[in-house]
Structure 1
Amino acid sequence: MTQTVRRTLGRPGAVSLKPYRKLLAPIGEREAALRELGDAELTEAALNLAGAEFPYERAELIELCAVVREAARRTLDERPFDVQLLGMMALLDGRVVEMATGEGKTLVGAMAAAGFALRDRRVHLLSVNDYLARRDAEWMRPLYDMLGVAPSWIAEDSTTIQRREAYAADVTYVSVSELGFDVLRDRLATDPGDLVVPDPDIALIDEADSVLVDEARVPLVLAGAAEAVEADADMAQLVRRLRPQVDYEVDSEGRNVQLTTTGIERVEAELGGVDLYSEEYADSLAQLNLALHAHALLKRDVHYVISDGEVKLIDESRGRVAMLQRWPDGLQAAVEAKEQLQASETGEILDSITVQALVLRYPTLCGMTGTAMAVAEPLREFYELEVAVIPPNLPCVRNDHATRLYATPEEKEDALVEQVLDIHEQGRPILIGTQDVAESERIAARLDKENLDCAVLNAKNDADEAAVIAEAGTYGAITVSTQMAGRGTDIRLGGSDMADRERVVAAGGLYVLGYGRYPSSRLDDQLRGRAGRQGDPGSSRFLVSIEDHLIASTMPEARQFDAASDGEITDPAWASAVDRAQRIAEGQLMELHRNTWRYSKLIDVQREVVLEHRAKVLHQDLGDEQVRSDCPERHADLVDEVGEDEVARAARLITLYHLDRGWTDHLAFLNQLREGIHLRMLGRRDPLDEFNADAVPVFKGFLDQARERAAQTFAEVSVTDGTIDVAAAGVKRPSSTWTYMVHDRPFGSDIDNIVGKARRLSRSSG
């Protein structure tokens, strides 16, 4: 049974496109007139739109669309389709635009960014990685130049000077992580001239669903040098000897692991007869829990890979190495001990910001993606954003075949190989989407045994992704890849040069095979969307096993299925169970996002209070004003000795130091509080209420305490060679800082404590 996908002009809950459609005819008329202008005259027409109020009036919007369309035709040899103009107008209205893969989102984003910039709005076009930031900025530069708009881009290796210059441009292409790290570094600046990021204005977000939903709960971290966290290698060895289901148990979701009574007895015996749950051995218990988490829950080539002697995390939503990401320090060290690697550099967290808090700094948000309607609810709930669904330029005629269900992974794999052999004989290019690195390599090896050559794209070779994807549409090609979301390169039928396009079209186009359904229907849709671009023929099918993690983790009852029957499972009840398992997984992720947002909301409010005060110290000499008031005699003496400017400088450095030091300590307190707050559940108390009840009073005296410490330090400073020596008074910044993203937190560590104590009590009473 097949289902032909045809996008409608709109969907329930989406923004109406009627107001935009009414402008298409007059835009076409104005475009015809602009054809008569020279390039310089066209640039002048664009600049005539500059400087006025935003948003555009109707006549101005028509002029903008016509000018931009003609400029794109001349500079990029691409005349934007009507649907691309609809997308541009929706972005200018602050919407999240849903456009299918291959419909030209890069050009739509550039046109909208230029439209904002011509009204003197500063635009940050946020991408998912550095490669796309640079590629898109350079690709669209001719268009920007003709419109009189200055574009720029930022990469991980950009210097401070290059970053400052890039942010000064009209449109800055930058990855979300690099922007976040620049914001964090600015928050520790001690001189106004050191600031890099300007005040936020417009954020136009590529892959908006991934950034605003999937990564929203990911904290970006600025760390400073501190005593290294070393994992216990002996503990890692001990955990390796423990037996699953005997000494420890993993929950059905694969998120928590805990020792059994037998496991507790074994560990305590191997540690010399200790009482593992006594206060004396609390550190040992913490090391054990981390080692057990690393051993039982984090799988090599699934959650991370080993490359160049380092543990590199895999972005689960994209199937590639997550640059600069790491787990919290203790867990990171435990994984390194598990793999017998040298512990990486670590330190205390100086500051952090979630991706959600980062983008919410912008007064105006908009974005684009191929799958926005599936997350319309969280976009509305967390960002007050509405979705505009843009129809494809040509009808989509891709055939999405019904999912095939099998009892075991072995049967699923056999079915995959059989289908690949059949499709390959037709000459159709095939794209196989897998769940993780290990799976992609296993499938590739199986295909090799069948004498089927294939290209593999996963986290171990994602540097080659553009070249691999570009040829995935070649006649007879087979490509095995982890998640395709955010790859940024279209699969063109016939290969990168489309030399064999007609032959591939005649064969039926690209065939997408999903080797298992993803935890999110959006990821399924993004994989399907690689076929059938711009009206091309294509097909897709997903193969699922009842033992797949998605089903086993969300529907434990599925394990009781009688697998005696061979071949495909055609029972309609089981077919609907796959969709139900996916909805459960999506609900769990949504609740995790919502829960993270609830906890971080208070932290963000407190941080804003500190930042507002810090800005006054940095820009308005508030620190000098305060120490003058708190230490009048010492202040007057120092002014006489070294002058007012030097005293103001020292006061600023001292005050900023105590604000930053205080926030670092407060952040550590909040992290510790949150990790242990679930213990309050035993008393039938709401953890969030308890968190707020403890966090609010502690913060009340924050600014007063920072001021008192600054006054005390100022009173003790000495003068050396005509300069106030603040370092001698203890004002010392970390010798080095670095940035990373915290991928996840170990779940249930405190619950494990409770379970362990309960088992000990049960054993002793028995």
Structure 2
Amino acid sequence: MFTTLLQKVIGSSNDRHIKRLRPLVTSIAQLENELEKLSDDELRARTSWFRGRLEKGETLDDLLVEAFATVREASKRVLNMRHFDVQMIGGILLHRGIAIEMGTGEGKTLIATLPAYLNALTRKGVHVVTVNDYLARRDSEWMGAVYRFLGLSVGCILHDLDDAERQEAYNCDITHATNNELGFDYLRDNMKFRVDQMVQRPFNYGIVDEVDSILIDEARTPLIISGPAEDSSELYRQVNLIIPELAPEDYEKDEKSRSITLTEQGSQTVEEILTRLNLIQGGSLYDIHNISLVHHINQALKAHQLFARDVDYMVKDDKVIIIDEFTGRMMEGRRYSDGLHQALEAKENVTIQMENQTLASITFQNLFRLYPKLSGMTGTAKTEAAELGDIYKLEVIQVPTNLPLARQDLDDEVYRTAGEKYEAIIKLIQECREKNQPILVGTVSIEKSEYLSELLKKKNIPHQVLNARYHEQEAMIISQTGSPGAVTIATNMAGRGTDIKLGGNVDIRLAFELKDITDPSEHQRIEEKIREEMATAEREVKAAGGLFVIGTERHESRRIDNQLRGRSGRQGDPGKSKFFLSLDDDLMRIFGSNRIDGMLQKLGLQPGEAITHPWINKALERAQQKVEAHNYDIRKHLIKYDDVMNDQRKVIYEQRRELMIIEDASELVREMEREVLDTSLLRFIPEDAYPDQWEVKGLHEECMRIFGLDLPIEEWSKEEGIAEAEIRQRIESAIQDKMKTKEDKYGSDSMRMAEKSILLRVLDQIWKDHLHALDYVRQGINLRAYAQRDPLNEYKQEAFSLYQEMLGKIKEQVVTALCYIELYQESPSEIFNAAIEDIEGAQRNIRLEQPGLDSVKQDLPATKTRNRPAKSIRKVPLRSHAKKTDLERVDVSLGKIDESVSRNAPCPCGSGRRYKHCHGK
């Protein structure tokens, strides 16, 4: 009570923050008249003037007032849109690295032009991050007109761009991209073999649109680049036949955590069915031979019992396509990982695609923490302020609306059954249509939007449906949602990016109806007619009470509900919102609807009657808060584990980048040789041990295996007074002599190229294996909690041990490969190109994914590659007791190479092709 009273007297911290920015806004406004007098060229020239001032030592904060005033003037001339004072406040906060909450329709897209222009003056690049390709393309064209007018370059990253186009877009002053494309480009860049192939510059400043959706909703699962693994599609089909035979008592389902497990009875049932199908080895399902089978069964159970068609996914063109739960859009090309998508494909009887293994991964949390300065904007962030502050160090500030909010948010109506609820919704729609009031109905799934559509058809009520099936007509459908008496059903309204204007959107209607009109006089006549009609429609809708938003049920997140509500009442417009609920709704059912149902029956609630009270709203909000807290725990849990890998990833990626930059890696290779030798000596010649305790036979075999050297170590050990240091010095001299002989034979340039290419190749292979090992550790580490051990600490210890082991493997394999290789007499550039060609060919088929229950994966365009040996590196046959390295298993020889024929000469067989492309393969 005292706190509330104090806030009324001195204002909240949010109010005080906004108040401190008012003088800056006033200063910007004072420049408006002066800038209006400038010509377009003079206004454009200010960009070079600002950059010159930065070079002389001024800061971006010094330029803020003048730069923002310049953008406002440019926007007036190019877009015919003037930034409001509250938008200036939002722009200042974004520049200072703060997340802002502004109501729907307040012009967040236009706000981003202010900090984007100011920070782009440094020439280090600005990323404007959006939730989908449509918004990225739209914003780069729409707001890009302002940037280009002021002399800045603008790029847009879309899914179908090649590397050259991506590089060009990232090198622009301002780049629009989706969060997924940014993440996958970052991972792909750290799999490249040349610095000039990398598409991204170092991160500088990021502005995240729909910051809550990207940094919170989508951050539950990491991004993964994966490559093809073994094909087990037939096993998925066989296991899929088992699930329909199971009874409800055979498994336990927890919808809150979206998990499902077999009961003891269920395990017995499955074992009997598997024995009948001859798919099980041994007597028990949980024998070590059947671990893979258990995984397939669990994924098939999830697919059948936790994932519903037209709710979580849809089937189209022989594919299972994921539906984004937050936007209702199809996620083309994305796939659930860990075999779940294959299980869904088996369930729906479509073509089953191959599984994949991880090549690189990163979470959105660690991706966006790479930015030295990050900011964001959304209509709903205050409820997630704690998480944004904890994870991203982002303060959240609410920016006031330009005009006072006039929307009425009515209390929820709760019915006992879904049928009664839908009857009430249809009745309200009919009442609104009678007075020409537009209605927007929000549903949570395609299935429910189409069910409601069928009910409206039976009542002969014309309407539009916006869901993943009609995603192409999205902008047109949303733009006309505010027309008199219009009824629009939308799956979800988050991240739609199109304003609902009362009376309809004039600009979109003009673009649609005038696109084929070429006669100027006819064009003007129709335009005037449309504008007049729309103005009349706007007055009519306002008189009817504005847009009425109806929610058919509560989402598990309050933010999604608020985003739906926020579609009504933009820029001071009138409007209403109301949610209709039933005890059959998912949120009500999961959170104790049986108890509520019993209570309502005791209260004598009759069929068709609803209970309405502010207490109900508060109870529902508490349930939503519980779900939000649970999801926050999932994300915190994820990032704690990923932070362990992130430290290792930073080191590996940094070392990899240094390797690509340096021309001469010989000193690094010499250091590796010494370390590998020291490790071997320590194993076979323990410290302070006598010569008769040395394992000279083992050391001899180790030198043969790693260095390819047949040394008389046994004879050396019998020499009088021989010491470990002397043995080490002789072996090291033999290694140096061998490498010097190679360098004399092939030339130093060729050896430098070979060293560099092998370093990169081995690093990538071992890092991939390391990620695979960490995946296995991560899957089973929680079992250590049964031994009263903290799984996170255990994971850190295991990960560190594996990391140390990985470093040792890298050194050993690099040294072994260099000791055994032989080079053809070709130019250094040919050696380097050939050494990496096979790996790059394999990478053309990598896939992009997000694992977990909400996970998605994205396929790259497949490129058919030749199966050929490395053009310039040929392995010398190893002795019978020597072990082949992983590197040597990469190259597959397709035939004997005749060294008397030049590889670039015509093939002796008379085919007309070069020898290296014919019998010299």
When the two structures are superposed, what TM-score results if normalisation uses the length of structure 1? 0.92
Do the aligned partners of residues 396 and 664 (structure 1) sit closer, same or farther apart at CA in structure 2, a change above 3 Å counting? same
Following TM superposition, by how much is the alpha carbon of 1:84 offset from its aligned partner in structure 2, in angstroms? 1.0
* Structure 2 contact 28–69 (Cα < 8 Å) conserved: yes
Following TM superposition, by how much is the alpha carbon of 1:148 offset from its aligned partner in structure 2, in angstroms? 2.2
Following TM superposition, by how much is the alpha carbon of 1:595 offset from its aligned partner in structure 2, in angstroms? 0.7
**Residue number in structure 2 paired with 1:516:** 553
Summarize deviations over 1:52-109 as a string: whole Å, max 9, x none.
Answer: 1574345x32212221111111111111111111111111111112111111111111
Do the aligned partners of residues 730 and 210 (structure 1) sit closer, same or farther apart at CA in structure 2, a change above 3 Å counting? closer
**Amino acid in the other structure paired with 1:200:** F
Q: Which has the higher contact order (CA 8 A, sep 6+)?
A: 1
Q: Distance in 1 between matches of 2:468 and 2:806?
A: 44
Following TM superposition, by how much is the alpha carbon of 1:114 offset from its aligned partner in structure 2, in angstroms? 0.4
Q: Distance in 2 between matches of 1:77 and 1:584?
A: 45
* Structure 2 contact 14–398 (Cα < 8 Å) conserved: no
Following TM superposition, by how much is the alpha carbon of 1:587 offset from its aligned partner in structure 2, in angstroms? 0.8
Do the aligned partners of residues 347 and 41 (structure 1) sit closer, same or farther apart at CA in structure 2, a change above 3 Å counting? same
Counting aligned pairs with the same residue, the percent is: 37
**Amino acid in the other structure paired with 2:82:** R
Do the aligned partners of residues 655 and 352 (structure 1) sit closer, same or farther apart at CA in structure 2, a change above 3 Å counting? same
Which deviates more, 275-284 or 144-153? 275-284
**Correspondences of 1:326-337 after superposition (within 5 Å):** 326-337=335-346
**Aligned match for 1:580, one of 587, 607, 622:** 622
Following TM superposition, by how much is the alpha carbon of 1:318 offset from its aligned partner in structure 2, in angstroms? 1.3
Following TM superposition, by how much is the alpha carbon of 1:552 offset from its aligned partner in structure 2, in angstroms? 2.4
* Structure 1 contact 408–563 (Cα < 8 Å) conserved: no
Do the aligned partners of residues 476 and 84 (structure 1) sit closer, same or farther apart at CA in structure 2, a change above 3 Å counting? same
**Residue number in structure 1 paired with 2:238:** 234
**Residue number in structure 1 paired with 2:106:** 103
Q: Distance in 2 between matches of 1:128 and 1:42?
A: 32
Do the aligned partners of residues 447 and 624 (structure 1) sit closer, same or farther apart at CA in structure 2, a change above 3 Å counting? farther
* Partner SS for 2:469: coil
**Aligned match for 1:738, one of 833, 841, 846:** 846
Q: Distance in 1 between matches of 2:330 and 2:58?
A: 40
Do the aligned partners of residues 15 and 527 (structure 1) sit closer, same or farther apart at CA in structure 2, a change above 3 Å counting? farther
**Correspondences of 1:373-388 after superposition (within 5 Å):** 373-388=382-397
* Partner SS for 2:100: strand
* Structure 1 contact 10–390 (Cα < 8 Å) conserved: no
* Partner SS for 1:377: helix
1:709 aligns with 2:813: yes
**Residue number in structure 1 paired with 2:381:** 372
**Residue number in structure 1 paired with 2:225:** 222
**Which has the larger Rg?**
2
**Residue number in structure 1 paired with 2:38:** 37
Summarize deviations over 1:215-243 as a string: whole Å, max 9, x none.
Answer: 12322221223323424212111102222
* Partner SS for 1:552: helix
Q: Distance in 2 between matches of 1:254 and 1:90?
A: 37
Following TM superposition, by how much is the alpha carbon of 1:248 offset from its aligned partner in structure 2, in angstroms? 2.0
**Correspondences of 1:602-617 after superposition (within 5 Å):** 602-617=644-659
Q: Distance in 2 between matches of 1:602 and 1:14?
A: 39
* Structure 1 contact 325–743 (Cα < 8 Å) conserved: no
Which deviates more, 195-204 or 264-273? 264-273
Following TM superposition, by how much is the alpha carbon of 1:526 offset from its aligned partner in structure 2, in angstroms? 0.5
Q: Distance in 1 between matches of 2:595 and 2:795?
A: 37
Which deviates more, 549-558 or 475-484? 549-558
* Structure 1 contact 217–356 (Cα < 8 Å) conserved: no
* Partner SS for 2:226: strand
* Structure 2 contact 71–113 (Cα < 8 Å) conserved: no
**Correspondences of 1:533-682 after superposition (within 5 Å):** 533-555=570-592, 558=595, 561-562=598-599, 564=601, 565-566=605-606, 567-570=609-612, 574-621=616-663, 623-629=665-671, 630=673, 632-682=736-786
**Amino acid in the other structure paired with 1:456:** V
**Correspondences of 1:453-492 after superposition (within 5 Å):** 453-492=462-501
Q: Which runs of 5+ in 2 are unaligned?
A: 1-7, 277-282, 507-533, 674-734, 856-921
Q: Distance in 2 between matches of 1:641 and 1:410?
A: 85
**Aligned match for 2:210, one of 207, 212, 221:** 207
**Amino acid in the other structure paired with 2:846:** W
Do the aligned partners of residues 393 and 56 (structure 1) sit closer, same or farther apart at CA in structure 2, a change above 3 Å counting? same
Summarize deviations over 1:659-683 as a string: whole Å, max 9, x none.
Answer: 1111111111111111112212222
* Structure 2 contact 761–836 (Cα < 8 Å) conserved: no
* Partner SS for 2:17: coil
**Residue number in structure 2 paired with 1:503:** 540
**Correspondences of 1:283-432 after superposition (within 5 Å):** 283-432=292-441
Q: Distance in 1 between matches of 2:654 and 2:835?
A: 28
Do the aligned partners of residues 439 and 239 (structure 1) sit closer, same or farther apart at CA in structure 2, a change above 3 Å counting? same
Q: Distance in 1 between matches of 2:51 and 2:819?
A: 54
* Partner SS for 1:490: coil
* Structure 1 contact 94–364 (Cα < 8 Å) conserved: yes
Q: Distance in 2 between matches of 1:657 and 1:403?
A: 61
Following TM superposition, by how much is the alpha carbon of 1:15 offset from its aligned partner in structure 2, in angstroms? 7.2
Summarize deviations over 1:19-66 as a string: whole Å, max 9, x none.
Answer: 3211222222211111111111112234322241574345x3221222
* Structure 1 contact 229–330 (Cα < 8 Å) conserved: no
**Aligned match for 1:131, one of 126, 131, 134:** 134
1:64 aligns with 2:67: yes
Summarize deviations over 1:528-568 as a string: whole Å, max 9, x none.
Answer: 01011111111101111223211322446646635643321
* Structure 1 contact 432–479 (Cα < 8 Å) conserved: yes
Q: Give the root-mean-square deviation of aligned CA atoms.
A: 2.4
Which deviates more, 585-594 or 553-562? 553-562
* Structure 1 contact 254–553 (Cα < 8 Å) conserved: no
When the two structures are superposed, what TM-score results if normalisation uses the length of structure 2? 0.77
Following TM superposition, by how much is the alpha carbon of 1:13 offset from its aligned partner in structure 2, in angstroms? 5.5
**Residue number in structure 1 paired with 2:519:** none
Q: Distance in 2 between matches of 1:665 and 1:730?
A: 20
Which deviates more, 389-398 or 19-28? 19-28
**Residue number in structure 2 paired with 1:757:** none
1:265 aligns with 2:373: no
Q: Distance in 2 between matches of 1:10 and 1:605?
A: 43
Summarize deviations over 1:461-485 as a string: whole Å, max 9, x none.
Answer: 2222112111111111111111111
**Aligned match for 2:86, one of 58, 74, 83:** 83
Which deviates more, 518-527 or 212-221? 212-221
Q: Which runs of 5+ in 1 are unaligned?
A: 1-7, 748-766
**Amino acid in the other structure paired with 2:17:** S
* Structure 2 contact 229–354 (Cα < 8 Å) conserved: no
Following TM superposition, by how much is the alpha carbon of 1:739 offset from its aligned partner in structure 2, in angstroms? 3.2
Q: Distance in 1 between matches of 2:392 and 2:822?
A: 50
* Structure 1 contact 440–480 (Cα < 8 Å) conserved: yes
Following TM superposition, by how much is the alpha carbon of 1:735 offset from its aligned partner in structure 2, in angstroms? 5.6
**Aligned match for 1:525, one of 554, 562, 572:** 562
* Structure 1 contact 717–729 (Cα < 8 Å) conserved: no
**Residue number in structure 1 paired with 2:904:** none
Summarize deviations over 1:287-317 as a string: whole Å, max 9, x none.
Answer: 2111111111111111111121111111111
Figure out how many residues of one structure are paired with residues of the other and give that number.
738
